[in-house]
Chain A
Amino acid sequence: MNPLDPMIKTNDPRLTDYVLGELAPAEAAQIEAALKSSPQLRAAVADIRQATQTIANVFETESSLQLAPEQRTKLLAEAESVSEPGSAANTDVHSLADNVTTLADNVTTLADNVTPTVAGEHYRPSAGSTAHWIKIAVAAGLAGLLLGVGAYYSADSERPSIAASDEPMLAADSVDDGTEESELQSKDHLGFNADADSQVEQRAIKKLKASKPMSKTDGVADQAIPLAVKDAESAKLNGHLMQSLSANQPGSAPQSPSRPPLVADSFGDAMPPTFREEFPKTRSRADAGNAIHSLAEAPAESKYHRRSSALPNVEGKKAEAKKIESKFTSNLASNPAMLSKAQQSLDQSRLRSLNLKVVAQNSPSQSRQSIDQIGGDFHDSGADERLPIAAAAKPLAQGDTMKNELTKRSPNASLPVTFKLQISDQNAKRMVQLLASQADPLQQRKLSFEELIGLQKSPQVASANSAGESYAELMDESYIDDAGRLKMEMDSPPRADTLPKKSPSAPQTAAALLASELREHLRRPLSRNNSIAAYRGLKKQNVETQNVETLQDLGGSIDSDSASASDSPMDKSSTVSGKSTPENQSSVRSQDAKQKLPAIKLNNELSSGEFNFEYSQVIQQLKSNLEIRNQAVPLSKQSPARLPVAP
C-alpha cells in the first residue's frame, strides 16, 4: 500500500500501464513517486514487468507464419499492378477522383467565363482542398446545365416531324411526357417571356397552387397544375441561365436586363422556322400571364382542351380533331362487329378495374359487412344472368364499394344484389368439422351456419343441377380457402322474378336448416379423403368409435370388412349402407338412442367413396359447442328425434 497515495494498490491496473509505458507523464510521475516509498508496489511492478517480458518472449518465440507461395505471388502481382497506370486497380475512387478533377479543370475554364467576377475579379480557386471541391462542385453543376441545354438542342433538331408537320397541337400534346425538353417547348409555345420579377407570373403561379385539388381519377386535370407551374418556374430558371450564358458569349448582342433571352433566342436559326412561326415569342408578359391563367381555368376534359384553350391557332385544330372523332364514331356505329368489339373491350377494361378493386380488399369480416350493407340475401340467380365478373369469381370487397360498382355496372338492377356462396363437398365437410370442433371460427367469420348452408340449399342450385348443368361447375368454388378465409362469388343482381320464394314448408330455424343440410349433404357421395376428414373431425369431438384407428391408419382402402374385423363393437344394425333413406336413418337414430354409439358405415365400394354417418351424432356435438346466431329456436331445446327428415 502506498502511504502517499492510498488509491494505488499492488493490483492497480495503472501499474500494468506504467510497466507497458501507456501512462500519461503525470500519472507515470505519480506512480514513480509511489514506487519510491512503497516496496510492495516496487515488487508488484517488478513482478508485472517480468510477466510482461515473459509473455512478450512467448509471443516472439512463436514460429513465424507465412502465406502460401501462390498467395504471396498473387499479392505481389497485385501490388505491382497497383503501380501500373491504367490497371484495374486504378479504377478505384482515387482514379475516379482524378477523372473528376480533370473534368473540373476542363470545365473550370468555361466556368471562369460564365462566372464573370467575384468582387470585381475573376474567380480563381485557391490550392486548398475546400476551394478544390468548390471548384469541382461548380464545374459539375455547370457541366450538368450545359449538358441539359445540349440535350435540348439535339432533341429539338432531331424532331423535324413535329416542327415540319405544322402540327402545333401535337407538339403541345407532347408536353405531357414530362421530359425536360417538352417542358421547355411548352414554355416556348406559350410565348412565355420569363422574368423573375414578373408579378403576372407570380400571381398566376399562386393561383395555380391555390386552386382546388383535382380528382385523382382525372389524370389530365391532375397534371395540369404542376405542369403549368413547372412551365413558369422552368422558364424563370432558364431565363436566368441563358442570361448568364449569353453575357459571356463573344460578339453577342447586349441583352436588356429586363428581358432575359429565351432558349430559342440563344439557338437562333437552329430553331425550326415553322416552330418559330407557329409560336411567336412576341407576347408581352401580360399575355404570358393570361396564357397561364387560361391554363389554370381551362376545362379538364382532355389535354387537347387544356392546351387548345391556352395556345394560339388551336381552334382549327380542335375542329379538326372533333371531325376525326365524329368520323371514327360514325364508322364504329356502322360496323357492328367493331362496335361490339369496342364495347367488349370497354367492358373488359371496366371489369379489370372492378376486379382490382374487389381483390384489393377482402377479408371475411369485410365480406360479411358487404352483405350486410347491401342487405342482400343469398340467392343464386342462375347462370344466364351472370355478369362477366362472375367468371373471375373474385372475393367481395367492402360493401359500399361493391354496391357502387354494381350499381354503376347495372344501373337498372335493383338491390339487394345477389351473391352466391359456393361450397364444395370437401369444404362443406370441413365446415362441419370446424363448426363441430369449435365455435370460434364461426364467430370470427360472423356468418351464421344457417346462412351458410342456406346457400347450399338454394333452389337455383338445385334447378341448375337438375337442368343438367354441371354441379361441379356451380359448386367447385371453395368458399373456405386454404387460409381459412371465406370466399364468395358475386353473381348478377337479382330480378324480381328470379328471387327465390320461400316455401312455407321450408325449414326456418337454424336447427332445422342445420339438420336438413346435414342430411342432404351427407347423403351426397363423398370422396374417400373427405370421408376420412369428416371422420377425424368426429373423433376430435370425442365420438368414441372403434374403427377410428382403422380409419386413421388408412393408407389405402377402408371397407366394411376391415371395420368389422377391427373388433368393433359397433352394431351393424346401427349403420347405414349406401345412401341413407329416411327409413334407415330412423332406424339408426333409434339404435343410437339405445347404444349411444355413432353410426358410421363405410361402403364396401371405396372407389365410389360413398358413406354415410349419422347426422344426429354430429348435431349432438354441435349442440354442445355451437353458437348459432339468429336462431329462432335454440338447438339445445331440440332433440334429434324432432328434427325434420329430408325428403
Chain B
Amino acid sequence: MAIGASAGAIQALSRILPELPEQYRIPILIVVHVPADGSDLPQLFRTKCRLAVKEAEDKEPILPGTIYFAPPDYHLLVEPDRTISLSLDAPVLYSRPSIDVLFESAADAYGADLTGIILTGANEDGADGLVAVAQAGGVALVEDPAEAFAKAMPSGALARCPQATRLSLDAITARLLAIEAS
C-alpha cells in the first residue's frame, strides 16, 4: 500500500493510521512532502500507531505490519524484489521525496496488489503515480477534495486518473480495513 500527501498530511494520516489494528499485515509506504531538515514523522506516528513505524532504509526488505516513511530529501522507491531503494535523483515537481517516484516504482513491483492513496496537498505530485497504479491493475483512492485541507493534490489526481475512487478519510480507513480482511 502506498500513500502520498503534502500540506495537511499529518492531520489526515492521524485519522487513518492509528485506526489500523496490530494484526494489520499489508505494509504501508508513505511519502509526505517535508523540508530537507524536516520533522521526524516516524517518531511522531510511532506513539500514535499500533503498527511498527520507521523511516525507510536503503535495501531493506519490506515487511508486513510495518509503516515506512520516506526520509526527508530522498526519493523512496520499491525494487522489483520488494526491497526499498533510496535515491538522490533530482526533485520531481519540486519534490523530493516525490509521490510519483514511489507510486510508479511500487506499481511496477506490486502490480494489481497495490493500493495507491492520494491525500491532501497543495501541488500535483502523485497524479502521474496514481495513473501508474491504476494502469498496473491496482486500486486508486483519493481523498475527497471537498474535505481535504489542501485541494490541489487530490483534485489533480482525480482529474488525471478517472479510474480513481473519491472517498472521505473515514471511508478510506474503512477500505483499508476491508482490503486487509479480503
A binds B: no
Q: Hey, which bits of chain A sit against chain B, CB under 8 A?
A: none
